[in-house]
């Protein structure tokens, strides 16, 4: 169930990428990646470090030329039509690097004027909400404050598409909340956001649809609800009778029985049968929760993470 | 300094050597090679005592040569002639080696944030600095030793060769101290290099003015002091002692300053900036001006001072010719124009080579911005790659022309005020400006490397070094004509001593334009990052 009102279909999708391949020397960074972002949605872009998120974004910005596959941005060719397309987007890089001798205020104004849509009052309002001192030289900003400079510059624009590459990795929880408010406002205005993030709570709170990528390839894409159907629900129950027979039910995993307490996970498609069986035994209390995004994420990367202790989320 | 403040010095030394081995090798080997080739070249130029005597008579009172090279001492020996050719230049290069190495290893690491990681380890407070100083001191000692060996291998007397090697090491260590102090004062590595180069330039100029006069002023210059050790001319060691004492004092001062400041900060804390951008900061060109204006002003000041100094010395050369009829006759018969004009031609060639440093540095800003990921926010905005590249290249090309104008005017005005004819002001301005096409060609080479093989942009500095060697030592080293003609500066008519020839200027400009275009096409086709 998608709560979004469908957008008119006459406009091309803001981002449409298919079969994208990009090699750096002998390393293949993108290996047939697909990504489709519909107009008006906030689209989560997930994947572990090195999965190819930033490379995809840099192809979309026309900074890198893809070796194969197709990419379209706002209906144009990101490489050929870069300048025209960039009037309609705003970008927050994953690694914010600012001119050390310029003040934060100067950088925000510069980027706004170059894009041509600097809204002075919106800029000042955002500075206040993010509690950013615009007179400090960029050299002296902390990581989080550098990110705020890039965020204010992007959010102060009227761009129809915002491309945000891990924009909140340096923000504290209070600023994270401010950021989420801003993205809700952007979405309410019908603008589109591509949000690459490691913060799963943030993606869960903000995103309509999510694409999960791994090793340069899209492994899953859809709404959170759709994804949950493909995975397992956790059940914790206190039973009146014996838990016999639960282990033979199809789709039940990780069953733990302690006295009258049971815990298990069940494939969402088999949830029906499991609940019916519990009801037959008799239930004193029941807790169930759908898989969190984190669990979804780990279900895709769990093996890989276990085998590669150096690789972190 | 207790021993715990030095914990980890040896490990850090290993890290420095591992990360900088190519840097160290290039500096040390090229200085030693330069000395060896010069010594062998001079020996080839003057095979007999008679030829040495002839050369000595020609240069003994030649204020122009003395202004560039140093005091005329021991010129009636082969060693004296070699020292005259290589000593001043070698001392400047060794100074730059120390300066850039110390800046890179101390403030450079700190500014990049890598030193923070090192300091979080069980490493003594002074260990990183001491490891850097040991490295630089060792580089200087090795340069000194190799210089000594090169000179002895060329057949020169042991004592004099030892003095040249020793003076290289002493001056190098002195400038390591200068750089270390500068690295405490400012938090910006670029400023460390700028202020250090200014001190080296001042040392060279004070020595030039002193040597053309009675030599008193030269005692105040570290480079002049080193030459007071008189290699191959009744050597004496004691003038090197104040250099080493000053180096120790500078290191002590730096250590005091370091104790007063926080990690990552300088002594001068940056002032807050404006909350909003000035109207000029609304497009890529405005940004490029803002980023480069400090550099351009610094180079402008340097060229201004050098021009004033060269102009100021010039009347001495007039009087030298006037008082020396044989010399005047010799110059006339050689068809070389007046000695003063030859002197000015050399001066402008050197100033143009110096100013090329700006042109290259300015063009390489593009690569610096790209590597630091600062090109990305602009190129992700509605700014084409060409427009972004043009914003910096205009400054490189126009700025280098402006520097030549400053050099010409400063030299001409200073010469006129010191007693030369006022009519020489436009003549000298023209003599400076003709070098613009050669500088543009170097800039163009930087652009094409940037466009096609951005990882190799630093190779342009080697090309500039090659142009310096051709200009200053081409004849001495006996380089074949075709090698000398590889330098664009070799094709510029040596005004005011030679006649203006427009054709090579037009061809160089055209070539530069084509090469820039090639670089820009490459930039448009390649990946950014």
Asked whether residue A304 is assigned to any structural domain, the reply reads no
Predicted pLDDT of residue A311: 34
**Do A70 and A120 reside in the same domain of the chain?**
yes
Q: What is the CATH number of the domain that holds A276?
A: 3.30.70
The pLDDT score that the predictor gives to residue B520 is 97
**What are the φ/ψ torsions at residue A96 (nearest 5 degrees)?**
-80, 120
Residue of chain A minimizing CA distance to B382: A83
Chain A residues with beta carbon closer than 8 angstroms to that of B262: none
Residues linked to residue A220 through DSSP beta bridges, in sequence order = A212
CA distance A268 to B281: 57
Residues A130 and A98 in one domain: yes
Asked whether residue A7 is domain-assigned, the answer is no
pLDDT for the residue A255: 86
Does the residue A124 lie in any domain?
A: yes
**Which residues of A fall below an 8 Å CB-CB distance to B?**
58, 61-65, 82-84, 86-87, 89, 91, 93, 95, 97-103, 105-111, 113-116, 134-137, 139-140, 150, 153
Identify which of B291, B372, B382 has the shortest CB distance to residue A97. B372
Angle (deg, nearest 10), helices B325-333 and B339-371? 60
Residue B275 and residue A105 in contact, taking contact as beta carbons nearer than 8 Å: yes
Distance CA(B400)–CA(B432), nearest Å, equals 11
Residue A148 belongs to some domain of the structure: yes
Of A83, A116, A139, nearest to B270 by CB-CB distance is: A139
Distance, in Å, from the CA atom of A133 to the CA atom of A145, rounded to the nearest integer, reads 9
Give the residue from chain A lying closest to B113, CA to CA.
Answer: A139
Whole-number Å distance between alpha carbons of B202 and B223: 10
Distance (Å) from the C-alpha of residue A105 to the closest C-alpha of chain B?
5
Residues A154 and A106 in one domain: yes
Domain that holds residue A84: 15-227
B273, B278, B383 ranked by CB distance to A135: nearest: B273
Alpha carbon of A119: minimum distance to chain B alpha carbons (Å): 13
**For residue B42, how far is the Cα from the chain centroid?**
23
Question: In A, which residues are within 8 Å of B380 by CB distance?
Answer: 61, 63, 86, 89, 91, 93
DSSP for A136-194 reads SBGGG--HHHHHHHHHHHHHTS--SEEEEESTTTT--HHHHHHHHHHHHHHHHTT-EEE
Q: So what's the pLDDT on residue A4?
A: 45
CB < 8 Å to B379, chain A: 61-63, 82
- Domain locations along chain B: 1-268, 282-529
| Residues A186 and A246 placed together within one structural domain of the fold | no
Burial class of residue B280, CB neighbours in 10 A (0-12, 13-18, 19+): exposed
Nearest-CA residue of chain B relative to A89? B381
The pLDDT of residue A300 = 67
Closest residue on chain A to B187 (Cα): A139
Cis peptide before B496 (omega within 30 of 0): yes
Residue A311 lies in a domain: no
Strand-strand pairing, A15-24 and A68-73: antiparallel
Residues 6+ apart with CB under 8 A from A45: A35, A53, A56, A194, A195, A196, A197, A210, A211, A213
Are residues A64 and A192 both part of a single domain? yes
Per residue of chain A (313 residues), give pLDDT as tens: 444 444 444 467 999 999 999 999 899 999 999 999 999 999 999 988 888 999 999 999 999 999 999 999 999 999 999 999 999 999 999 889 999 889 999 999 999 999 988 889 999 999 999 999 999 999 889 999 999 999 999 999 999 999 999 999 889 999 999 999 999 999 999 999 999 987 778 888 899 999 999 889 998 899 877 777 667 788 889 988 888 888 888 888 888 888 888 988 888 778 888 888 888 888 999 988 877 777 777 776 655 544 443 333 3
Q: Using CA coordinates, name the residue in chain B closest to A87.
A: B382
The answer on A275 and A176 residing in a single domain is no
Inter-chain residue contact A103 with B272, CB threshold 8 Å: yes
Give Cβ neighbours of residue B222 (< 8 Å, ≥ 6 apart).
B95, B171, B174, B175, B203, B243, B246
Nearest to A114 among B187, B272, B381 (CB): B381
Residue A40 contacts residue A183 (beta carbons within 8 Å): no
Distance CA A5, CA B2 (A): 72
> What ipTM was estimated for this complex?
0.81
Considering the domain architecture, whether residues A253 and A211 belong to the same structural domain is answered as no
Residue A236 and residue A221 in one domain: no
Minimal CA separation from A303 to chain B, in Å: 32
A210 SS3 class: strand
Maximum Cα–Cα distance across chain B: 73
pLDDT of residue A83: 94
A151 lies in the same domain as A62: yes
Phi, psi dihedrals of residue A35, rounded to the nearest 5°: -155, 125
Contacts of A103 in chain B (CB under 8 A): 272-275
Question: With contacts defined as CB-CB under 8 Å, which chain A residues touch B274?
Answer: 103, 105-106, 135
Q: CA A146 to CA A138: how far, in whole Å?
A: 7
d(CA B446, CA B166) in angstroms, rounded, equals 36
- Asked whether residue A301 is assigned to any structural domain, the reply reads no
Contact B273 A136 (CB under 8 A): yes
Same domain, A99 and A42: yes
Number of domains in chain A: 2
Averaged over successive runs of 10 residues, the pLDDT of chain B (529 residues) comes to: 79 94 94 91 86 83 84 92 91 96 94 86 90 97 97 94 97 97 90 92 92 91 95 94 96 91 80 90 95 91 88 78 62 62 89 94 96 94 96 97 97 92 95 97 98 95 92 84 93 89 96 98 94
Interface subset of B 161-220, CB within 8 angstroms of A: 187-188
- Same domain assignment for residues A220 and A248: no
Same-domain status, A118 and A223: yes
Contact A93 B373 (CB under 8 A): yes
Q: Distance (Å, rounded) from C-alpha B194 to C-alpha B188?
A: 10
Classify residue B234 as left (phi > 0), alpha (psi -120 to 50) or beta: left
Q: What is the pTM of this model?
A: 0.81
Q: Does B113 touch chain A (CB under 8 A)?
A: no
Which residues in chain A have Cβ-Cβ distances shorter than 8 Å to B525?
65
Instruction: Read off the CATH number of the domain in which A96 is found.
Output: 3.40.50.300
């Amino acid at each position: 169930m998608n709560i979004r009102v469908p957008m008119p279909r006459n406009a091309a999708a803001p981002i449409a990428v298919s079969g994208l391949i990009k090699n750096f020397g002998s390393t293949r960074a993108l290996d047939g990646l697909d990504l489709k972002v519909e107009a008006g949605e906030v689209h989560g872009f997930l994947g572990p470090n090195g999965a190819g998120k930033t490379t995809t974004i840099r192809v979309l910005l026309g900074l890198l030329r893809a070796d194969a596959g197709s990419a379209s941005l706002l209906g144009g060719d990101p490489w050929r039509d870069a300048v025209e397309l960039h009037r309609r987007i705003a970008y927050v890089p994953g690694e914010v690097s600012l001119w050390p001798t310029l003040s934060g205020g100067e950088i925000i104004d510069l980027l706004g004027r170059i894009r041509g849509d600097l809204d002075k009052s919106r800029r000042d309002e955002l500075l206040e909400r993010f509690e950013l001192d615009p007179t400090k030289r960029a050299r002296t900003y902390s990581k989080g404050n550098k990110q705020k400079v890039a965020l204010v510059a992007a959010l102060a624009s009227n761009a129809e598409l915002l491309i945000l590459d891990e924009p909140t990795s340096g923000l504290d929880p209070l600023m994270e909340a401010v950021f989420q408010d801003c993205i809700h406002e952007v979405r309410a205005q019908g603008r589109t956001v591509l949000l690459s993030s490691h913060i799963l709570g943030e993606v869960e709170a903000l995103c309509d649809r999510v694409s999960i990528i791994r090793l340069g390839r899209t492994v899953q894409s859809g709404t959170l609800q759709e994804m949950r159907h493909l995975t397992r629900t956790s059940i914790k129950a206190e039973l009146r009778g014996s838990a016999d027979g639960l282990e033979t039910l199809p789709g039940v995993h990780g069953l733990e029985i302690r006295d009258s307490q049971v815990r298990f996970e069940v494939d969402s498609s088999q949830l029906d049968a499991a609940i019916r069986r519990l009801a037959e035994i008799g239930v004193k209390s029941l807790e169930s929760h759908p898989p969190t995004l984190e669990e979804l994420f780990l279900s895709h990367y769990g093996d890989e993470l276990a085998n590669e202790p150096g690789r972190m989320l | 300094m207790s021993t715990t403040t030095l914990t980890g010095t040896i490990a850090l030394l290993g890290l420095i050597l591992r990360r900088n081995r190519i840097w160290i090798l290039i500096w040390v080997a090229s200085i030693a090679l330069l000395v060896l080739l010069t010594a062998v070249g001079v020996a080839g130029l003057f095979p007999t005592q008679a030829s040495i005597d002839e050369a000595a008579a020609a240069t003994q009172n030649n204020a122009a040569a003395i202004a560039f090279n140093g005091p005329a001492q021991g010129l009636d020996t082969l060693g004296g002639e070699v020292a005259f050719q290589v000593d001043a230049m070698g001392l400047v290069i060794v100074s730059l080696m120390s300066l850039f190495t110390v800046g890179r290893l101390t403030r450079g690491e700190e500014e990049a944030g890598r030193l923070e990681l090192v300091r979080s380890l069980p490493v003594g407070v002074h260990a990183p600095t001491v490891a850097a100083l040991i490295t630089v001191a060792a580089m200087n000692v090795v340069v000194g030793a190799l210089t000594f060996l090169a000179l002895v291998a060329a057949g020169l007397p042991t004592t004099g060769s030892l003095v040249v090697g020793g003076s290289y090491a002493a001056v190098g260590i002195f400038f390591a101290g200068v750089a270390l102090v500068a690295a405490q004062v400012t938090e910006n590595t670029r400023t460390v290099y700028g202020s250090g180069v200014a001190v080296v330039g001042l040392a060279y100029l004070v020595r030039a003015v002193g040597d053309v006069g009675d030599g008193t002023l030269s005692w105040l210059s570290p480079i002049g002091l080193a030459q007071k050790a008189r290699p191959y001319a009744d050597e004496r060691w004691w003038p090197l002692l104040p250099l080493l004492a000053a180096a120790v004092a500078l290191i002590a001062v730096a250590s005091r300053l370091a104790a007063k400041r926080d990690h990552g900060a300088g002594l001068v804390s940056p002032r807050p900036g404006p909350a909003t951008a000035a109207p000029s900061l609304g497009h890529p060109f405005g940004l490029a001006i803002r980023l480069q204006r400090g550099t351009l002003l610094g180079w402008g000041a340097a060229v201004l001072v050098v021009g004033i100094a060269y102009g100021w010395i010039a009347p001495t050369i007039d009087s030298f010719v006037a008082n020396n009829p044989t010399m005047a006759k010799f110059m006339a018969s050689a068809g070389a124009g007046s000695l003063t004009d030859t002197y000015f031609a050399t001066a402008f060639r050197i100033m143009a080579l110096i100013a090329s440093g700006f042109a290259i540095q300015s063009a390489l800003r593009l690569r610096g911005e790209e590597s630091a990921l600062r090109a990305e926010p602009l190129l992700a905005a509605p700014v084409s790659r060409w427009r972004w590249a043009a914003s910096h290249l205009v400054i490189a090309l126009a700025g280098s022309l402006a520097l030549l104008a400053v050099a010409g005017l400063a030299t001409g005005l200073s010469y006129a005020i010191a007693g030369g004819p006022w009519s020489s002001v436009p003549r000298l301005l023209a003599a400076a400006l003709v070098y613009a096409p050669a500088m543009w060609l170097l800039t163009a080479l930087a652009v094409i490397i940037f466009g096609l093989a951005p990882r190799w942009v630093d190779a342009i500095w080697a090309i500039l070094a090659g142009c310096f060697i051709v200009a200053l030592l081409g004849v001495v080293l006996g380089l074949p004509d075709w090698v000398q003609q590889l330098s664009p500066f070799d094709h510029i008519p040596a005004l005011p001593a030679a006649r203006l020839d427009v054709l090579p200027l037009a061809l160089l400009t055209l070539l530069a334009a084509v090469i820039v275009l090639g670089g820009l096409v490459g930039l448009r086709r390649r990946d950014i990052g």
